[in-house]
Chains A and B, each alone.
Chain A
């Protein structure tokens, strides 16, 4: 399937490159060209200068970063020999030199992606190095969170000024610390959200994964991995307990699944292109799994209020924002006919409704049992979809959900050894039977 996607992209690129000559030869007029461009979404393809340069960009990036790291280490070794004014001069000097390099890239070589990416990343590191070197020169204390905040504030604009997508990944990887480290500052770590909002445009959420550059895909992976961690750090211990956290993660998983349906192809074999789908599905499964345990439901129900009033309001607002986002993005799942994503979204919706029921007086064991039933239905639905659409991926996903459910119940309820043993045997046989069946269907089809 990924080969077919590659072929489609190559064909579209060929068409895009041919169009100017066809206009010149008067084979097509402007109106026809515009219609073709719109029909095949040719404008969403990366520019010709960007395509095929991924290796060049990555090598340039790595080269610049390694050179920068090497220079820093060499300075560190000789640092003690330098006087204070010399250290200050080195701190400023290395920053000015790298700024000069980045300026050269922007003013003289604006079409060279590799140069812009490499110097952009190096400049971001140089800013951090300058701050660290000054702190070391004057024996300044301070916390990692303050250092990161200043570093990110001075480096983040490079993302837009130099169009260096690598900076988005650097910022995303560094910023979750802010949420944890600034827990007791006046903003309680909510600056982290402003940083995330500033990075979102770099994810190019209007570009499908098949057309996005490697650095944009990497930034998307950094986003889906770090945002749940960073936001979790914001919400835990600051907000009225686990209810808001449950809603937040349900909404976030829903947003990721909906974005995955819109931007990614479920049958794309390359995991690099399915960040939203993979993490969204895993997140939903994790949430369902945790809440299938009665103890976890008890914790959600009986969590105690904590933190300032505005912090709790902000935390709850964040949770409702993600739910609203998932609701707003979910039409894409229907539009794309993304049945796997739809099944997971429905499960999350039922989970949220169960939470409402819990607050309205439902017992905790009823909720836990209901979540187990949701998982059972989800697993069955995915399995059936897989059989119907002859997709081993979907059917194995379904069986995987069922396997996780059964393992969870293994540790949770008092089932007899015989019942548990039979259950696992049947599940294992089902996995084997499905794969054999699908294999035979493929053989008979070919």
Chain B
């Protein structure tokens, strides 16, 4: 066997290990977050696009994305820098952002976010890492219709019943489910009237 082909084979095995390792480590991290993470609720407002690469999903908008938050430490020097949002959770488990920082917190409940831009009052817009909920392809449009109906009857506010259930562990956040008007989005979508 020539040295070149032997090197190719070794490189191939190493590459396969890297590929499987990258996938498996991701799965392990998210499974650990779902099993051991703290459960919090974030208010949502679904919209329905389609990502051709990753199936049909409900685009989620969050109140925390629409509001601005105080920044602790130096302001970002350019757009879309990575950062962290430290959370405060109420007795109803609904989470709010206490402050945003560029330094990883050593304790407390926090999620990795993208720091978008500061406004004229130096308050920060952020984008959370979770922005979609994948559903079976025929249900996603119905889910959006279900939300529109729910929001037409009752304004979604802090007393509203539409939110995403998110598990958080060491800054990693994974959506566990979405609740529309008190019931799982899958159930609400199946009950929604046909278009």
Whole-angstrom distance between the Cβ of B126 and the nearest chain A Cβ: 13
| Interface assignment of A91: CB less than 8 Å from any CB of chain B | yes
CA distance A143 to B13 in the complex (A): 29
Q: How many residues of chain A get a CB closer than 8 Å to chain B's CBs? A: 43
6 A-B pairs in the complex with CB atoms less than 8 angstroms apart: A80-B135, A99-B16, A99-B19, A127-B19, A141-B130, A154-B22
Please name all residues of chain B whose beta carbon is closer than 8 Å to the beta carbon of A132 when the two chains form the complex.
Answer: 53-55
| Interface assignment of B89: CB less than 8 Å from any CB of chain A | no
Q: Are A162 and B136 in contact (CB under 8 A)?
A: no
Q: A79-B136, A80-B136, A136-B134 are in contact. Are A92 and B24 (CB under 8 A)?
A: yes
CA distance A50 to B195 in the complex (A): 56
| Interface assignment of A236: CB less than 8 Å from any CB of chain B | no
Binding site secondary structure of chain A: helix
| Interface assignment of B18: CB less than 8 Å from any CB of chain A | yes
Q: Are B22 and A144 in contact (CB under 8 A)?
A: no
Q: Are B53 and A147 in contact (CB under 8 A)?
A: yes
Q: Are A142 and B129 in contact (CB under 8 A)?
A: yes
| Interface assignment of B175: CB less than 8 Å from any CB of chain A | yes
Q: A140-B130, A161-B11, A162-B12 are in contact. Are A95 and B23 (CB under 8 A)?
A: yes
Whole-angstrom distance between the Cβ of A409 and the nearest chain B Cβ: 43
CA distance A88 to B30 in the complex (A): 11
Q: A110-B5, A138-B30 are in contact. Are A95 and B54 (CB under 8 A)?
A: no
Please name all residues of chain A whose beta carbon is closer than 8 Å to the beta carbon of B137 when the two chains form the complex.
Answer: 76
| Interface assignment of B8: CB less than 8 Å from any CB of chain A | yes
CA distance A300 to B85 in the complex (A): 43
Whole-angstrom distance between the Cβ of A162 and the nearest chain B Cβ: 7
> What 4 additional pairs, Cβ within 8 angstroms, besides A84-B31, A134-B23?
A76-B55, A92-B27, A138-B175, A185-B80
Q: Are A161 and B12 in contact (CB under 8 A)?
A: yes
**Complex interface residues of chain B between 18 and 65 (CB less than 8 A to chain A):** 18-20, 22-24, 26-27, 30-31, 34, 53-55, 57
CB-CB nearest 8 A-B residue pairs: A80-B136, A141-B131, A139-B175, A184-B80, A138-B30, A99-B16, A184-B79, A161-B12
Q: Are A79 and B55 in contact (CB under 8 A)?
A: yes
CA distance A184 to B76 in the complex (A): 13
When C-beta atoms are compared, the residue in chain B nearest to A136 turns out to be B134
CA distance A137 to B34 in the complex (A): 12
> In the complex, which of the residues B20, B81, B133 contacts A99, with contact meaning CB atoms closer than 8 Å?
B20
Please name all residues of chain A whose beta carbon is closer than 8 Å to the beta carbon of B121 when the two chains form the complex.
Answer: none
| Interface assignment of A102: CB less than 8 Å from any CB of chain B | yes
Q: Are B129 and A141 in contact (CB under 8 A)?
A: yes
Q: A150-B22, A154-B22 are in contact. Are A161 and B8 (CB under 8 A)?
A: yes
Please name all residues of chain A whose beta carbon is closer than 8 Å to the beta carbon of B75 when the two chains form the complex.
Answer: none
| Interface assignment of A68: CB less than 8 Å from any CB of chain B | no
| Interface assignment of A17: CB less than 8 Å from any CB of chain B | no
Please name all residues of chain A whose beta carbon is closer than 8 Å to the beta carbon of B134 when the two chains form the complex.
Answer: 136-137, 139
CA distance A48 to B20 in the complex (A): 36
Q: Are B53 and A144 in contact (CB under 8 A)?
A: yes
Please name all residues of chain A whose beta carbon is closer than 8 Å to the beta carbon of B54 when the two chains form the complex.
Answer: 132, 135-136
Q: Are A157 and B132 in contact (CB under 8 A)?
A: no
| Interface assignment of A106: CB less than 8 Å from any CB of chain B | yes
Please name all residues of chain A whose beta carbon is closer than 8 Å to the beta carbon of B81 when the two chains form the complex.
Answer: 186
Q: Are B129 and A91 in contact (CB under 8 A)?
A: no
CA distance A147 to B128 in the complex (A): 17
1/0 per residue, CB under 8 A from B, across A134-174: the answer is 11111111101001001000100110111100000000000
**Complex interface residues of chain B between 72 and 114 (CB less than 8 A to chain A):** 78-81
Please name all residues of chain B whose beta carbon is closer than 8 Å to the beta carbon of A140 when the two chains form the complex.
Answer: 30, 129-130, 174
